[in-house]
Amino acid sequence: MANALRDTGREGFLDGTIDWDTNTIKHFLYDEGADAFIAGDDNLDDILAGARIATSGAYASKTVTAGVADAADVVHTAVSGATVESIEIYKDSGVESTSRLIANIDTATGLPVTPNGGDITVVFDAGANRIFKL
Amino acid sequence: MDGKLTINVKAAGTRVALNLDDKVRGTMDWSAAQQISRELRALAAAAVGMVFYKFTVDGRPVYVDFEPGLALALANALYRCSLQAEEQAKAERIALDTAILYRAGAPLGLSNDPAILDEAKKEAAWNSELRRAMPGGVKSAEAFGVPAVRRGPPPGTTQH
């Protein structure tokens, strides 16, 4: 795999279901060993809770300029659990079955990472593409 | 009928027009023309003398005899014209298939008909359903940055 938008992410941006800078956007650290990545997964409830090693708070400082999605870096505190292979970004609707999966990032410096009980920080790229560019 | 038989075959849109000395005169669809062509070829190949063939004109049989060479020439002409008629009958399908090639980046036309190629260009440019026929779909052009995932020290340890 490679970093990629989910089909539901693309659809959401096109049909207006996902509004990056006003919706609640989060990610979780994804243990793909517990629940393998499936491209057809569309909502949060498709990923086993046990495969979600840690979930971020709502993204802050989000921007959409020029179709480039960005947000402030995220710190997960005191993370323990199985090895994390990827980061799954989703829109949190408050209900798992309607929380659309947006993108999966499995290519990142430091991935896979095995939690050791300490903090895990996700530092988004400061380059032109930031988190992703549509 | 002798060897002076005048044969006139041409494609007319999606049909094939045939005129044999005004004795057999009419149009047929492309598949019928191909069927007659096949039968005439087979008869010409097997003929010892003349080739006798039964045409059906307006529901009544009309028997025509050909020299084998003439039967073969008529078979070839019918087949050639039937392909032109078939191309027109399947113009929409050919345009869509050509559009898929265009969309995939292969500028290869499946027809020499400018009208079909023009339609293919329009389909390639505007048909939003075309992606369903693309192998693997149309690739998205999104770009990702490469984030860094930093693991801090475990609890109870001091980072120097």
Q: Are strands A86-91 and A4-5 parallel, antiparallel or unpaired?
A: unpaired
Q: Given this model, what pLDDT does residue B158 score?
A: 66
- Both B85 and B115 in one domain: the answer is no
Residue B119 CB: number of other CB atoms within 10 A? 19
- Percent residues over pLDDT 70 in chain B: 92
- Percent residues over pLDDT 70 in chain A: 99
Q: Which chain B residues touch A7 with a CB distance below 8 Å?
A: none
Q: Give residue ranges of A with CB < 8 Å to any B CB.
A: 2-5, 10, 78, 84, 87, 103, 105, 107-111, 113-134
| From A87, A105, A118, residue closest to B154, measured CB to CB | A118
User: Among residues B153, B139, B154, B150, which one has the least CA distance to residue A108?
Assistant: B150
- Both B84 and B105 in one domain: the answer is no
Q: Given this model, what pLDDT does residue A68 score?
A: 92
Q: Given this model, what pLDDT does residue B60 score?
A: 85
Domain-embedded: residue B28: yes
State the pLDDT confidence band at B125, using cuts at 50, 70 and 90.
Answer: confident
Q: Determine, for residues A3 and B144 on separate chains, whether the beta-carbon distance falls below 8 Å.
A: yes
pTM, 2 dp: 0.56
Domain-embedded: residue B140: no
Give the three-class secondary structure for A5: strand
Which tens digit of pLDDT belongs to each residue from A33-77? Answer: 999 998 889 999 999 999 999 999 999 999 999 899 999 999 999
- Both B112 and B39 in one domain: the answer is no
For residue B140, give how far its alpha carbon lies from the nearest alpha carbon of chain A (Å): 9
| From B146, B151, B153, residue closest to A107, measured CB to CB | B146
Separation in Å, CA B60 to CA A95, B22, B54, B55, B63: 74, 15, 10, 8, 10
Domain-embedded: residue B117: yes
- Whether the predicted pLDDT of B132 surpasses 50: yes
Q: If you count them, how many residues does chain B have? A: 160
- Whether the predicted pLDDT of B54 surpasses 80: yes
- Both B32 and B71 in one domain: the answer is yes
- Whether the predicted pLDDT of B5 surpasses 90: no
Structural domain containing residue B128: 91-133
Domain-embedded: residue B11: yes
Which tokens sit at B52? 């006798």
Q: How many domains does chain B have?
A: 2
* Average pLDDT, integer, range B8-12: 91
- Percent residues over pLDDT 90 in chain B: 50
- CA-nearest residue to A130 within chain B is B145
Q: Given this model, what pLDDT does residue A125 score?
A: 94
Among the ranges given (A89-93, B86-90, B120-124), the one the predictor scored with the smallest mean pLDDT: B120-124
Give the three-class secondary structure for B49: coil
Domain-embedded: residue B103: yes
This complex has an ipTM of 0.88
Domain-embedded: residue B33: yes
Q: Given this model, what pLDDT does residue B136 score?
A: 66
Which tens digit of pLDDT belongs to each residue from A107-128? Answer: 999 999 999 999 999 999 999 9
- Percent residues over pLDDT 90 in chain A: 90
- Both B60 and B127 in one domain: the answer is no
- Both B30 and B75 in one domain: the answer is yes
Domain-embedded: residue B59: yes
Q: Given this model, what pLDDT does residue B124 score?
A: 87
- Both B77 and B13 in one domain: the answer is yes
Highest-confidence range of A127-131, B44-48, B62-66, B106-110, by mean pLDDT? A127-131
User: Among residues A26, A28, A27, A23, which one has the least CA distance to residue A12?
Assistant: A23
- Both B83 and B120 in one domain: the answer is no
- Both B50 and B97 in one domain: the answer is no
Mean per-residue pLDDT over chain A, rounded:
94
